[in-house]
Amino acid sequence: MAMAVRDSDSYIIKGGKEGRARLAVISRVLAPSTQSVLDRFEPLSDSTVIDAGCAGGDVSFELAQRVGANGRVVGIDFDESKLVLAREEAAARGIGNIEFHNANILHPWPADGATLVHVRFVLTHLADPERLLERAWEALLPGGAIVTEDIDYGSQFCDPPCPAFDRYVELYVEAARRRGADPFIGRRLVRLLEGVGFADVDSALTQPYGRQGDVKQVPMLTFSAIANALTSSGIATSDEVGRVTAELDAFAARPDTTMSCPRIFQAWGRKPVGAQFRPSKSAAIS
């Protein structure tokens, strides 16, 4: 399999076209906060940037606008079905400064000399997230920046209380932990970046929520995407998955309910000028 998170069976969310549709909804919800953090690293014109774990390419397309016609965006992901859709969308939109690679993001990347590396909702799925950060370090120019965005799953809320919502969060956390993933990795991002050697590390926090629109669809879409992982691992029965699905759907449809996404940490840093790559003790590259 193309990506080590699949090799270690730690990736719990369904991919393919269904996964792409879910990520498109999430990208619309997160567009303002992702654009805001990318603004910190302008200008990006004429530079090479890498979107590691690019999925369907939503952030890659944003980056393509920022680097301009003479810049280069390289998207890397393990899910070829999503990459096919991303390539088709790029062609339909006439975006010629972007390329998508089916590659193992824990191995040396198919591009380097990058001014910026962006990583969103990937580290949470990795048993050894430092390995990805080390690949980013290798790919960055001295002085180049990394931007990470990832979840803290224990922070979600709804109003009024909804047992199905609480159960969805519990089941997600259990499924992730059983497969060696970290559903609370957001709070560790600063420490992870510093541990690899990035300098000028800082962070921000965002948590979308609301009573209408896409944000209320995220819990239901995410729960549907982990249903197979829950039943195949014996964490939940198909009957329970069906019940929670129906109750979540009904709760989201009510106009008087509020639902949130997980708390999302954004952390960034720079590769110091003149720094050399220092692989960690855990980085056994295969």
Among 143, 121, 55, CA closest to 266: 121
Among 54, 50, 48, CA closest to 71: 48
User: Which pLDDT score is estimated for 11?
Assistant: 59
DSSP string, 98-135: EEEEE--TTS--S---EEEEEEES-GGG-S-HHHHHHH
User: Which pLDDT score is estimated for 3?
Assistant: 36
Distance CA 286, CA 283 (A): 9
Q: Hey, CA dihedral for 46, 52, 56, 59, is it positive or negative? A: negative
What CATH architecture does domain 4-270 belong to?
A: 3-Layer(aba) Sandwich (3.40)
All structural domains of the chain with their residue ranges = 4-270
Which residue stretches of the chain have pLDDT < 50? Answer: 1-8, 277-286
User: Which pLDDT score is estimated for 2?
Assistant: 32
User: Which pLDDT score is estimated for 50?
Assistant: 99
| Residue 176 in tokens | 């992730």
Distance CA 122, CA 138 (A): 18
pTM: 0.90
pLDDT in tens, 161-185: 999 999 999 999 999 999 999 999 9
User: Which pLDDT score is estimated for 37?
Assistant: 99
User: Which pLDDT score is estimated for 283?
Assistant: 35
User: Which pLDDT score is estimated for 4?
Assistant: 36
